[in-house]
Each structure stands twice: as C-alpha cells, then as structure tokens.
Amino acid sequence: MLAPAQMQTFTMVFLLALASQLAVRLWLSGRQISFIARHRESVPAGFAGAVTPTEHGRAADYAVAREKLDRIEAIFDVLVVLGLTVGGGIAALGYRAHAMAGEGIAAGTLQVLATLAVTGLLGLPFAWYRTFVLEQRFGFNRTTPGTFVLDRLKGWALGLVLGGAITASVLWIMDRLGPSWWLTAWAAWLGFSLVILWAWPRLIAPIFNRFSPLDDAALRERIDALLARCDFRAKAVYVMDGSRRSAHGNAYFTGLGREKRIVFFDTLLATLSPAQVESVLAHELAHFKLRHIPQRLVASALTSLAGFALLGWLAGQAWFYSALGVAASSDAAALLLFMFAAPAFTWIVSPLLTAWSRRHEYQADAFAARHSDARALAAALVALYKDNATTLTPDPVYSAFHDSHPPPATRIARLMSYAGCGA
Ligand SMILES: [Zn+2]
C-alpha cells in the first residue's frame, strides 16, 4: 500500500499523459487541415495529367472534413476515458455487475462486457454521422440504414461471444494462477489471436460480406501466371461485395500457411485494368514473400507479452486502482483500467510503427516492380487515389506520425524511377 501522496502522483501522471496525447493529436490534425487547404488549388506536378483540379479540390475537402470530425471525436474519446477512470465509470459498472452476478468470474466478465457495450454505444453517433453524413456527402456511402443496424447487431453478438470467452478465460487464469498468471494469460491470448486469424476468412468475414470465386477467366489466367512466377500458392481468389457498403476499393490477402486467400473488392475490379490488378496483387503478395506478415505477428506477440507483464505488475499495486477511480481492486477492474489508460502512454511509439509499415510498403512496391510492372502499379495507385479521394498533399509531419502508407507523391516518384522514367 502506498501513501495517498503517491496515489495522487499517478493520477497526475495519467492526466498529463492524456492531455499530451490530445494536444499532439489536435496539433497534428490542425497542421494537416491547414497544409491541405494551402495546397487545395494546385495539383502536384506528378499528377497533373491524371487528376483534374476539381478532383484534387474534392479530395482536399474530403480529407479536411474527416479531420474535423476526428478532432471532435478525439476530445470526446478523452472525456469517455476520463469518465470511465477517474470519473468512476468502471467502478460504478463493477458495482452494478456485482449486484447482478455476485462475486467471481461471471460478475467480472459482465463488468468488462458492460463497459465495452457502453463505449460502443457512445461511439455510435460518430459511426452513424461518418457513414450517413460525411461519406454520403462525398458520394462514397452505399450502406443502407438497415445494413448499418444489422452490421452493429452482428458485431455486438460477435463481441459478446468472442470477447466474453477471452475475458472469462483471462479472469479465470488471474484467479487460479499465482503471481505469474500473466505469462499463462499471454499464452492464452496468443492462442486465441491465432484461432481468430484462422477463423476470420472462413467463419467471420462471411457473416458480413459475400465472397464469390473470381470468374473472370482472362484475369484468373494473369493471376495464376503471376503466382507461378513468384512461386506462391494460394488457396483461392475471391471477389468480395465491398460495394454493398462503400465505393472505396481495396485488395487483401488473408489466412495463414497453405490456407492463404486473395480477396479483391468488387469496387477495385471495376476500376482497374487487368494489368493494374496484377500489379496490385504483386504488391500484396510481396508482404508474404518478404515475410512482413510473420514479422508483424512476432512484433505484436512480443508487444502483448510486455503488456501482460506490465499488467501483471500493475494489478498487484493498490495505487493503480485508487489513482484511476476504483476504490476496491479486482481482476476485472485491472483489465479495464489497463485497457483504457494504457493508450494515453503507448501513442508515443505510433510514429515508429507507421515508419516500419511505410518501409514495408516501399519494399512491397519494389518487389511488384521486379515481378510485375512498376508503371501499371503506379497507374493503379493513381486510379485508387482518385477514386478514394485520397489527398495527394498530406502534411509531412502528420503523415510521418499517422500514415501507414507512404505519401502519394513520394511513392509514385519511386515507382517511376524503377520503371526507368526518372524520379
Ligand atoms: Zn502494402
């Protein structure tokens, strides 16, 4: 037990961390908004032939509108975290859960699920506004109110089952095992993550979307030739009905080991030529060939190990609870406080993670240039930037902090240098 003075100290540290996180987030988005506004009227040199001034202006307005919504959401998120922690929200929900389910794992699981349900409900107006006002205004929305409601219900049902299972398991491990419970809990968490990774394409994604085999014979042939050239075996190529929700296009790989699947959004196939689709696929394939996927898995396993070790220590400290608004310590409160307080500290490493991701993107582009066609990939990216109204002029500092993909101008210039047309 620590003295009240120390309890106070951690409350102060937490509030300071939360305030810095918000200040940096608002500062960066302010930079982004003014940078984009300053460059709204002129299409960057490299894109002059492909993107019209009207399209460029629309992309700028879209980015600024999203950034403004994000600013409001950032402030709202901080208020929610404050309300749950020092404001006593988690404690109050714990009190309710115990009144309903007594002591033990059932009550703890109920407390965790109730807290997540509350935050889910609080975030609902933002999700609604984003879909039906913002995306709608820029012509991207294809989601009907019926689909929106159904998506939420399915998501919550899934969260209830999966979240309930992992929470109950971790609480059981915390309750039954000694001080090194966190090691077992981490192993359980890891196993659970791998099961989800396996189950996602097979069982979970089909709940939300329809997947049909790619039936374009000519495109199939191109894809098979590319896979053979790169000595890559994929189980199947699917087309997903992304157009059901949004006009934004994408492509991705999913699954592990021999069960890998390639998924194209129908919206992407509608936009790109067969040569461009092949080059996008070559880029995606590179993430497997260059072992980016296992690297990310190992990194996230190690990060979660560090997280569980820290949680294992914090859960035993009385000040951790009292400083964050919980009078009586409990396993469920430890999980929740950690879940909601940790991001106030971990955001600081975000630029390192995005830099790592951007490095992988450049490597994948280089791979695609070698095994497919750099010009086709550049053309595909420009078509996607245009179609998704991606801003071509992000603020460099904002981009370095937030963006998992390189800024459009740098990325296209590098691809063109591979194609031998100068940088
Ligand atoms: Zn990529």
Question: For residue range 21-53, what is the model confidence (pLDDT) as tens digits?
Answer: 999 999 999 999 999 999 999 898 888 888 999
pLDDT at 206 over 90: no
Gap from CA of 19 to ligand 1 centroid (Å): 33
pLDDT at residue number 48: 84
Confidence of residue 142 (pLDDT cuts 50, 70, 90): confident
pLDDT at residue number 422: 45
Handedness of CA 409, 415, 418, 421 (dihedral sign): negative
Q: What is the pLDDT of residues 359-386, one digit of tens each?
A: 999 999 999 999 999 999 999 999 989 8
pLDDT at residue number 8: 79
Mean predicted lDDT score pLDDT of the chain: 90
Say what percent of the chain tops pLDDT 70.
Answer: 96
pLDDT at residue number 319: 92
Q: Average pLDDT for residues 389-400, to the nearest whole number?
A: 94
Cβ-Cβ contacts under 8 Å for 263 (sequence gap 6 or more):
201, 211, 238, 239, 240, 251, 252, 253, 254
Gap from CA of 222 to ligand 1 centroid (Å): 20
Gap from CA of 408 to ligand 1 centroid (Å): 13
pLDDT at 14 over 70: yes
pLDDT at residue number 4: 53
Task: Let me know if 284 is a catalytic residue.
Answer: yes
Q: What is the pLDDT of residues 294-342, one digit of tens each?
A: 899 899 999 999 999 999 999 999 999 999 999 888 999 999 999 999 9
| Catalytic residue (choose from 67, 77, 135, 365) | 365
What is each CA distance from 10 to 14, 18, 85, 311, 322, in whole angstroms? Answer: 6, 12, 12, 15, 9
Task: Let me know if 67 is a catalytic residue.
Answer: no
Q: Average pLDDT for residues 111-115, to the nearest whole number?
A: 95
Q: Say which amino acid occupies 192.
A: F
pLDDT at 5 over 60: no
pLDDT at residue number 421: 57
pLDDT at residue number 423: 39
| Catalytic residue (choose from 135, 284, 331, 395) | 284
Closest CA to 140 of 248, 65, 266: 248
* E strand spans, 144-232: 211-213
- How far apart are the C-alpha atoms of 248 and 266, rounded to whole Å? 10
Gap from CA of 405 to ligand 1 centroid (Å): 7
Looking at per-residue confidence, does 389 or 250 come out higher? 389
Q: Helix 374-387 to helix 274-289 angle, to the nearest 10 degrees?
A: 100
Confidence of residue 119 (pLDDT cuts 50, 70, 90): very high
Q: What is the pLDDT of residues 143-197, one digit of tens each?
A: 899 999 998 999 999 999 999 999 999 999 999 998 899 999 999 999 999 888 8
Burial of 240 (0-12, 13-18, 19+ CB in 10 A): buried
pLDDT at 7 over 80: no
pLDDT at residue number 1: 46
Gap from CA of 283 to ligand 1 centroid (Å): 6
Gap from CA of 365 to ligand 1 centroid (Å): 8
Gap from CA of 280 to ligand 1 centroid (Å): 9
- How far apart are the C-alpha atoms of 226 and 148, rounded to whole Å? 37
Gap from CA of 259 to ligand 1 centroid (Å): 20
Closest CA to 44 of 422, 391, 314: 391
Gap from CA of 364 to ligand 1 centroid (Å): 6
